[in-house]
């Protein structure tokens, strides 16, 4: 366990701070959705660290939504270091909140109902859904063109193309863990265009 006097801790914090300075995002409106229920720890850890990264620039504030039967917000605004942010997130997991079953539909409904009340003044809002299997795919997109569903594949493997091909609504897709490609925040896919763009990934030689 790291502590605030640990040399390794200071090295990680320095690396994290240096990495954040590489990006200058403005008007990045996004809502990362965390799944505390997966059996795959790597998926959980990657989704947490990317959520912390996105929350640093998020124009909505440093907030993350947990997808569960009763969705709730984790506010990181009072935590200045990566260590503190991750520790705070894990305080919910360690308290047993991870045992609450995952429910992506309830999370989407919560956002939808909230936006109907608040009417956010933003032209490009991204709801970030981390995926490693089809349980994270929503059947229907209730939002208008101003609000986008973005799937971020963290499976460390290729994602089942048939699942993407069967999505009926427009969406965004990122297939990366170690590299953040901001251009994909502005690229939309449908079942047909996804086939055109990602077809090389599914060639038999790969």
Give the SS3 label for residue 139: coil
Q: What percent of the chain has pLDDT over 70?
A: 77
Nearest alpha-carbon partner for 67 in 22, 19, 23, 101: 101
Return d(Cα 78, Cα 48) in angstroms, integer: 17
Tell if the pTM clears 0.75, that is, is over it: yes
The pLDDT value recorded for residue 156 is 67
Pick the more confident residue, 4 or 108: 108
Q: Using an 8 Å Cβ cutoff, are 161 and 63 in contact?
A: no
Q: Is 140 helix (H, G, I), strand (E, B) or coil?
A: coil
Q: What is the pLDDT of residue 198?
A: 46
Of the two residues 120 and 158, the one the predictor is more confident about is 120
Unique residue bearing structure tokens 């720890």:
41
> Taking each helix axis from N to C terminus, what angle separates 82-94 and 7-20, rounded to the nearest 10 degrees?
110
Show the CA angle centred on residue 59, arms to residues 55 and 61, nearest 5°.
Answer: 55
Q: What is the mean pLDDT of the chain?
A: 80
Q: What is the mean pLDDT of residues 36-46?
A: 82
Helix 82-94 to helix 41-57 angle (10° resolution) is: 130
Q: What phi and psi values does residue 66 have, to the nearest 5 degrees?
A: -90, 125
Q: Long-range contacts for 196-199 (Cβ within 8 Å, ≥24 apart)?
A: 198/161, 198/164, 198/173
Q: How far is CA 162 from CA 111, 128, 140, 150, 180, in A?
A: 27, 21, 17, 17, 25
Express each pLDDT in 165-187 by its tens digit.
Answer: 788 888 888 876 554 554 555 55
Please choose, from the candidates 112, 137, 134, the residue with its C-alpha nearest in 3D space to the C-alpha of residue 125.
112
pLDDT at 163 over 80: no
- Tell me the per-residue pLDDT of 128-146, one tens digit each, with 9 for 90 and over: 999 887 888 898 889 887 7
DSSP codes of every residue in 163-200: HHHT--S-BEEEE-SS---GGGGG--B-HHHHHHHHGG
- At 16, list the tokens: 């994290």
């Amino acid at each position: 366990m790291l502590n605030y006097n640990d040399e390794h801790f200071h090295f990680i914090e320095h690396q994290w701070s240096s990495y954040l300075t590489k990006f200058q995002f403005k008007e990045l409106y996004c809502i990362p959705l965390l799944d505390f229920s997966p059996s795959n720890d790597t998926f959980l850890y990657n989704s947490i660290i990317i959520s912390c990264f996105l929350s640093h620039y998020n124009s909505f504030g440093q907030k993350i939504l947990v997808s569960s039967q009763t969705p709730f917000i984790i506010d990181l605004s009072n935590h200045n270091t990566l260590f503190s942010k991750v520790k705070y997130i894990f305080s919910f997991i360690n308290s047993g909140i991870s045992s609450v079953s995952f429910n992506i539909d309830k999370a989407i409904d919560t956002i939808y109902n909230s936006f109907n009340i608040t009417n956010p003044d933003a032209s490009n809002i991204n709801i970030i859904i981390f995926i490693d299997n089809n349980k994270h795919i929503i059947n229907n997109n209730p939002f208008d063109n101003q609000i986008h569903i973005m799937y971020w594949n963290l499976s460390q493997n290729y994602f089942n193309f048939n699942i993407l091909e069967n999505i009926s609504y427009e969406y965004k897709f990122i297939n990366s863990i170690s590299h953040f490609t901001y251009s994909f925040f502005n690229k939309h896919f449908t079942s047909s265009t996804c086939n055109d763009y990602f077809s090389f990934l599914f060639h038999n030689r790969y």
